[in-house]
Amino acid sequence: RIERVQIIGACNPPTDAGRVPMTARFLRHTMLLFVDFPAEASLKQIYGTFNRALVKKHPALKSYAQPLTDAMVSFYLASQTRFTPDIQPHYIYSPRELSRWVRAMFEAMNVNKLKGHTLLPEDMVRLYAHEALRLFQDRLVEKSERDWTDKKLDENVRAHFQGISIDSAIRRPILFSEWLSKRYESVDQEELRKHVLARLNTFNEEELDVKLVVFDEV
């Protein structure tokens, strides 16, 4: 016999892609509480805490915790407003995007993985832009949407990061890899292409003789 047990569940609204409404027969047995996404001020407080911890071990970046937070939240809100499920069903934006953004930057800025390399503000901004493009641009369908994201990101960086070489920090293409130096860092496209082609040749010779094609989107 089970007594004094409460079951609490959480779910997305049925308007999200792949969701279906819960039946009235089920809902009549429950109490409902709707919790919306945090407001802008709350997002800045939450992710500001994360970002202060992110830059804590990098002396050259300590003054950039607040600009980084403001830039992240601003770009997230702009993308959320511009791209809605009415355009494409997978255009769903939640604070998970900000969490993934911070997590990706934390992994790349981990002092144990930098192997003695000192991060400069330009390095951080380029990493910030790279992760933004991976999170927000790679999901977009139309070229016009990707162009909008490129332009909005450039405006975002120029508005929030002062005193650094912006043109150098956001020069396209922005590619990060650990293949060339065993450290996750910005790499030149042609150098990365040569490395990939060399590895493909080795794969063809040693594993499977298939002529794979490397193109820019890869």
**pLDDT value of residue 12:** 81
DSSP H or E run through 177:
strand 176-177
pLDDT in tens, the chain (218 residues): 888 998 898 888 887 777 889 999 999 989 999 888 899 999 999 999 999 999 999 999 999 999 999 999 999 999 999 999 889 988 989 999 999 999 999 999 998 888 888 999 999 999 999 999 999 999 999 999 999 999 999 999 999 999 899 999 999 999 999 999 888 999 999 999 999 989 888 888 887 777 777 777 76
How is residue 176 written in tokens? 């990060």
Alpha-carbon distance of 174 to 178, in angstroms, equals 14
Name the H helices within 56-142. 65-82, 96-109, 111-114, 121-132
Query: What CA–CA distances, in Å, run from 202 to 115, 207, 213?
Result: 28, 8, 14
**pLDDT value of residue 213:** 76
Measuring CA to CA, which residue among 32, 35, 34, 30 is closest to residue 6?
Answer: 30
The residues, ordered by sequence, that sit 6+ positions from 123 with a Cβ below 8 Å of its Cβ are: 185, 186
**pLDDT value of residue 53:** 96
Alpha-carbon distance of 6 to 125, in angstroms, equals 47
**pLDDT value of residue 107:** 94
Query: Rg of the chain over CA atoms, in angstroms?
Result: 22
Measuring CA to CA, which residue among 90, 95, 127 is closest to residue 16?
Answer: 90
Question: Which 8-state DSSP code applies to residue 62?
Answer: G
* pTM for the structure as a whole: 0.86
DSSP H or E run through 152:
helix 143-160
**pLDDT value of residue 218:** 64
